Amino acid sequence: SSKVVIIGAGHAGGSVAAFLRQFGFEGAITLIGDESAAPYQRPPLSKAWLSGETDIETLSLRPNEWYADNNVTLKLGVSANAIDRDNKTVAVSDGSNVDYDVLVIATGACPRWTGAEGENLKNVYSLRTVEDAEALKNAISPGGQAALIGAGYIGLEVAASLRKAGIKATVIERESRSLARVASEPIARFLEDYHRGQGVGFLFDKEVEKFAGDGSVNALELKDGSKIDCDIAVVGIGVVPNDAIARDAGLECGNGIIVDIDARSSDPSIFAIGDVSYRPVPHYDCTFRLESVPNALEQSRRVAAVLCGRPAPAPEIPWFWSDQFDLKIQIAGLTLDCDEIVTRGDPASKKFAVFHLRKGVIRAVEAVNAAPEFMMGKKLIGQEASVDASKLGDISVSMKEIAS
């Protein structure tokens, strides 16, 4: 194809442009993004950014001059408003229309809000963009009190960052535990205990009724009638895929834009990658919307390979990481339909892994400060190898030996 247009200049959009050039694509590439910064990494926004340990240059996927040097037209600060599939053009908010032969939708996702009264008060934040992170950082002052709504990865990572900055942090969660959608109970309970040890408070089975305050938030009122004082509130209750532009254009959508293994949508000229795509996960025979950097990279590499006529890379086992205090959490695979859990190592040592097996085969691994378990576990998942559960749970037997 001669003209590739990418909507969304985030991790997936920026990466597909780079892989296309890396794989020798010589046609035109236009990257349209509604943020003012060129593609950058979001993971540090809830971590190093809040403690002032990084900046936008460091987070940029590529230096700004890379785009011109590689003949990629970067249109920033504008949004794509509509796709005309018959004429193969994209209408952009600056009034221009951009023609495509192939369109890649990489619009990501945006934070979900609670919808409770007072959510638009000053000092109520969400966290997706560098602007969000900068605003939150500027609101941090020692001795402050933060209420974090949602005990997902964002809530836990922000809680850790705020504690390090000397701020009181209370996490409020509707479910009865943290990470209910994204990690197993043993890992969640370990992290909660660890956070408590660092002074983070948790309130489970609680929902926000109202953000109270006069101009700025000063308390959260919960549905059970209780009240939490705070001068910062951060809402981290998940994200919603930015798929409106695809729906309006009549593309098939479910929980995001439905794509096949090559990330192709129901229109063969249009691909969708990253957080916005609802994709098959071959190893688990299911369809998922994966919200992770590895997923964005896998799909962007795959689309670039397909467009350059290269053999498609082998599908990857989904994986994810999170950093909280001095804990590096790494997760591979999906825990669907597992019938056995094996813990390897002692959680008290802050270095252990939880394996999830189905009929003696590893399907997922959740590792805390345990890189070899994570890496070897991920490999074993891919190989669908049967393992001896008693050896797996015995740290005197090396992962290498278990794999052989």
DSSP states along 214-280: ESEEEEEEETTS-EEE-SEEEE-S-EEE--HHHHHTT--EESEEE--TT-B-SSTTEEE-GGGEEEE
Nearer to ligand FAD, 217 or 332 (CB): 332
CB 252 within 8 A of CB 277: no
Q: Is the dihedral of CA 391, 396, 401, 403 positive or negative?
A: positive
> Considering only residues 12, 38, 342, 354, which one is a binding residue for ligand FAD as defined by CB under 6 A?
12
Neighbours of 51 (CB within 10 A): 15
Total residues binding ligand FAD (CB under 6 A): 36
> Residue 34 interacts with ligand FAD (CB under 6 A)?
yes
Alpha-carbon distances of 361 from 123, 345, 352, rounded to whole Å: 48, 19, 19
> Considering only residues 21, 23, 35, 121, which one is a binding residue for ligand FAD as defined by CB under 6 A?
35
Alpha-carbon distances of 326 from 151, 161, 323, 329, rounded to whole Å: 18, 11, 7, 10
State in angstroms the smallest separation of the CB of 165 from ligand FAD: 16
Instruction: Please tell me the distance from the alpha carbon of residue 211 to that of residue 172, in angstroms, as a whole number.
Output: 13
> Residue 394 interacts with ligand FAD (CB under 6 A)?
no
> Residue 74 interacts with ligand FAD (CB under 6 A)?
no
What mask, x for binding ligand FAD by CB under 6 A, covers residues 143 to 172?
-----------x------------------
Nearer to ligand FAD, 118 or 155 (CB): 155
Q: Is the dihedral of CA 87, 92, 97, 100 positive or negative?
A: negative
Amino acid of residue 403 = A
> Residue 80 interacts with ligand FAD (CB under 6 A)?
yes
> Considering only residues 30, 114, 123, 322, which one is a binding residue for ligand FAD as defined by CB under 6 A?
322
> Which residues, 257 to 316, sit near ligand FAD by CB under 6 A?
274-276, 291-294, 296
State in angstroms the smallest separation of the CB of 231 from ligand FAD: 21
Q: By CB under 6 A, which span of 2-10, 332-340, 353-361, 387-395 interacts with ligand FAD?
A: 2-10
CB 25 within 8 A of CB 308: yes
Residue nearest to ligand FAD (CB): 10
State in angstroms the smallest separation of the CB of 335 from ligand FAD: 17
What mask, x for binding ligand FAD by CB under 6 A, covers residues 100 to 139?
------xxx------------------xx-----------
Given the rule CB under 6 A, which residues bind ligand FAD?
Answer: 7-13, 32-35, 42-43, 45-46, 79-80, 106-108, 127-128, 154, 242, 245, 274-276, 291-294, 296, 320-322
